[in-house]
């Protein structure tokens, strides 16, 4: 093991005093302590800071804490980059846990990757590990196929699209800085997949079936919670992104196909004008599909599901 490899574990949190013990206890159990736990407090009004101060007294690893005003999880991640000094960073939600050997496994994989040719190593932007359900103890989603890391970027992307389910990824800071989370005027949150999918257009992922994270399904991450209008408007921006940037993945990525209807539905539910939607879609044929298929199907879906429009409070 290369003792010079050091990781940053980043946890954005908001009023998670009751669950923050879950990631802390899992980090205390790590078999390799070559990491720093970076906590970004996104405007908590509970006793998060006092709790972290207690953790600092107990821990045998470095803990760094920063407080900022509440702007949402993704903006908190953008904010975190200025404090990270390591090449690699992995996110850990404030209500999830790592397996005891997670840090050790990731460092071993990084050591393996560093033996590649420089151009091959530079092409990789993340290590994608697996998650297990905290209740069933079963892996979430199917296994990655054995040859997935030997495929070209485009072929790998097609295969990864079929391996659905929660993942746990360790990423290169340098590349994350090049692709910050977007900010919108009508919602303070940004969908993480908008960034991950965008980076995937240029870089490869190293995939492993090693389990990194224990995923707790029954907790609500208040760092990402938001009102219905904001959530729906965020979904609108996400679907615009899918249609404009990933339309060539239409045949194998279900999200892209579904976005033809969802972009219209999200616009209708938040009173966004048809003209505005058309102006944000870049290709004429996408505009046509959304017009003749998306809007009629969206109206029908809203009627059948008896969905009501959201107000921007």
Domains in the chain: ranges and CATH: 7-215 (3.90.550.10), 228-305 (no CATH)
Mean pLDDT, range 179-207, rounded to an integer: 90
What would the mean pLDDT of 238-245 be, rounded to a whole number?
97
pLDDT at 72: 85
pLDDT-derived band at 228 (thresholds 50, 70, 90) equals: confident
How far apart CA 301 and CA 48 sit, in angstroms, is: 42
The yes-or-no verdict on residue 151 having pLDDT over 70 is yes
Provide the pLDDT for residue 312. Answer: 82
The per-residue pLDDT of the chain, averaged, comes to: 93
CA distances from 282 to 94, 175, 239, 272 (A): 38, 26, 13, 17
How would you class 57 by CB atoms within 10 Å of its CB: exposed for 0-12, middle for 13-18, buried for 19 or more?
exposed
Percent of the chain residues past pLDDT 70, beyond the cut = 95
The answer on pLDDT for 4 being more than 80 is no
Q: For the packed helices 295-305 and 254-269, what is the interaxial angle rounded to 10 degrees?
A: 70
**CA triplet 265, 271, 273: central angle to 5 degrees?**
85
Mean pLDDT of 142-164: 96
């Amino acid at each position: 093991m290369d003792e010079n490899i050091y990781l940053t574990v980043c946890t954005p949190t908001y009023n998670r005093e009751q669950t923050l013990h879950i990631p802390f206890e899992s980090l205390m159990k790590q078999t390799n302590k070559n990491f720093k736990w970076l906590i970004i407090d996104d405007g908590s009004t509970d006793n998060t800071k006092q709790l972290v101060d207690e953790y600092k007294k107990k821990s045998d690893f470095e803990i760094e804490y920063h407080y900022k005003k509440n702007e949402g999880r993704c903006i908190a991640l953008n904010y975190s980059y200025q404090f990270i000094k390591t090449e690699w960073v992995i996110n850990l939600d404030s209500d999830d846990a790592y397996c005891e050997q997670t840090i050790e496994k990731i460092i071993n994989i990084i050591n393996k990757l560093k033996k590649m040719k420089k151009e091959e190593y530079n092409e990789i932007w993340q290590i994608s590990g697996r998650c297990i359900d905290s209740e069933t103890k079963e892996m979430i989603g199917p296994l990655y196929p054995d040859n997935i890391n030997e495929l070209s970027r485009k072929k790998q992307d097609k295969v990864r699209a079929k391996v659905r389910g929660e993942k746990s990824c360790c990423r290169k800071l340098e590349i994350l800085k090049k692709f910050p989370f977007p900010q919108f005027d009508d919602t303070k949150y940004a969908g993480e997949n908008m960034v991950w999918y965008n980076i995937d257009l240029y870089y490869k992922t190293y995939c492993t079936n090693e389990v990194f994270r224990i995923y707790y399904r029954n907790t609500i991450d208040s760092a990402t919670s938001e009102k219905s209008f904001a959530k729906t408007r965020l979904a609108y921006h996400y679907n615009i992104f899918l249609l404009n940037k990933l339309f060539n993945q239409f045949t194998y990525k279900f999200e892209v196909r579904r976005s033809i209807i969802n972009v219209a539905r999200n616009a209708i539910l938040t009173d966004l004008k048809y003209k505005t939607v058309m102006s944000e879609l870049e290709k004429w044929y996408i505009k046509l599909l959304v017009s003749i298929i998306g809007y009629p199907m969206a109206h029908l879906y809203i009627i059948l599901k008896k969905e009501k429009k959201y107000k921007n409070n």
